[in-house]
């Protein structure tokens, strides 16, 4: 064989050296300041499929708390208790009496084919008709949130709402403004979530915490699990769409503590399921 070829082959082999990044400082510097209010940042929606009998799920909740505290104002988190019934259904005999599941949560888990927990989606990236590429391990959520934040926002959401504590009616309008021309099939979802719920949770060391504090728990959707049509074929740059809402927060033992609730709004592209923008507002501040 051609000797030149031999030399090239040998050289090719030797040039594949292992290069290495040795890290001296693992941690980056602390808290990022809240985003600049003059530009619209694309916030990431974290949907965490969790369960009160899922022992590794508290790790995902911790990751959300970390993202909230170190990356304030850059993401909106929702904890959907849906997935395998063995991890999410009530089990009174073993001390997990709470029913956290919801009909909308079950619809979402079916559609997104949630088959292991904790599993989460960040702005529903990488969704496809088959496979599980859109279900991300919680350790990857910070990177994905950052990645989303760096992309220019294409939709701006403003929630103009009010809450009447006497009638328990949460009402108002969500104004969605397109920041770039689009011809996508846009949908909008209005979800109600409740935090500070004290109920048992199975922890990673297999013990039961009877007074665990659950946050961001998905309670109901104001306009069905998949939302309503915002605009079937997008619109022009600067075009507004108003979505009015009015919802009576239930009271009593099966109700929710209104002051601990938040309204989560997000707009997604129905073709790819990707969440383009999200916002939240605490009911207690209205």
Site residues (CB under 8 A) for other proteins? Answer: 1, 5-6, 9-10, 12-14, 16-23, 25-28, 32, 55-56, 66, 70-71, 84-86, 113, 115-116, 130-133, 135-137, 139-140, 142-143, 145-147, 150, 204-206
Sorted by sequence, the CB contacts under 8 Å of residue 239 that are 6+ apart come out as: 177, 178
Considering the complex, state which of residue 143 and residue 248 has its C-beta at the smaller distance from other proteins. 143
Closest approach of Cβ 151 to other proteins, in Å? 12
Spatial contact of 241 and 119, defined as CB atoms under 8 Å apart:
no
Q: How far is the CB of 196 from other proteins (least distance, A)?
A: 25
CB of 158 to other proteins, least distance (A): 26
User: Going by C-beta distance under 8 Å and a sequence separation of 6 or more, which residues neighbour residue 25?
Assistant: none
Q: Token pair of 185, please?
A: 């099939």
In the bound complex, what is the minimum distance in angstroms from residue 162's beta carbon to other proteins? Answer: 35
Encoding tokens for residue 242? 């108003």
Q: 27 or 271, CB closer to other proteins? A: 27
Nearer to other proteins, 139 or 210 (CB): 139
Of 56 and 239, which has the nearer Cβ to other proteins?
56
Q: Residue 113 CB, nearest distance to other proteins (Å)?
A: 7
Contact 275, 45 (CB under 8 A): yes
Q: How far is CA 244 from the centre of its chain?
A: 23
Both tokens assigned to 265: 């709004």
User: Which of 149, 243 has the CB closer to other proteins?
Assistant: 149
**Residue 50: CB minimum distance to other proteins, A:** 16
Burial class (CB in 10 A: 0-12, 13-18, 19+), 18: exposed
> Which of 137, 169 has the CB closer to other proteins?
137
Q: Rounded CA gap, 120 and 135, in Å?
A: 5
Measured from the Cβ of residue 173, the count of other Cβ atoms closer than 10 Å reads 13
Q: Take residue 57 and report the two structure tokens written for it.
A: 């799920």
Shortest separation between residue 5's beta carbon and other proteins, angstroms: 8
Q: Which is closer to other proteins, CB of 129 or CB of 252?
A: 129
Question: How many Cβ atoms from other residues are within 10 Å of residue 50's Cβ?
Answer: 31
């Amino acid at each position: 064989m051609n000797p030149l070829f031999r030399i090239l082959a040998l050289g090719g082999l030797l040039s594949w050296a292992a290069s290495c990044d040795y890290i001296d400082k693992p941690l980056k510097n602390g808290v990022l300041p809240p985003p600049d209010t003059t530009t619209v940042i694309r916030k990431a929606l974290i949907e965490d499929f969790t369960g009160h009998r899922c022992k590794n799920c508290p790790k995902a909740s911790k990751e959300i708390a970390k993202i909230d505290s170190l990356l304030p104002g850059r993401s909106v988190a929702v904890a959907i208790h849906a997935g395998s019934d063995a991890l999410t259904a009530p089990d009174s005999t073993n001390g997990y009496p709470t029913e956290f599941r919801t009909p909308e949560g079950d619809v979402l888990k079916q559609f997104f084919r949630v088959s292991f927990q904790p599993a989460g989606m960040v702005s529903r990236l990488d969704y496809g008709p088959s496979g599980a590429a859109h279900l991300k391990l919680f350790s990857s959520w910070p990177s994905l949130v950052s990645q989303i934040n760096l992309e220019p926002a294409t939709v701006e959401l403003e929630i103009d709402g009010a809450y009447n504590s006497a009638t328990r009616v949460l009402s108002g309008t969500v104004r969605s403004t397109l920041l770039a021309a689009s011809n996508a099939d846009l949908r909008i979802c209005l979800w109600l979530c409740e935090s500070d719920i004290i109920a048992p949770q199975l922890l990673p060391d297999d013990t039961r915490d009877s007074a665990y504090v659950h946050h961001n728990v998905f309670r109901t959707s104001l306009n069905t699990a998949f939302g309503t049509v915002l605009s079937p074929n997008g619109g022009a740059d600067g075009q507004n769409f108003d979505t009015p809402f009015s919802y009576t927060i239930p009271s009593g033992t099966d109700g929710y503590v209104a002051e601990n609730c938040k309204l989560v709004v997000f707009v997604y592209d129905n073709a790819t399921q990707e969440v383009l923008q999200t916002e939240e507002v605490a009911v207690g501040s209205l």
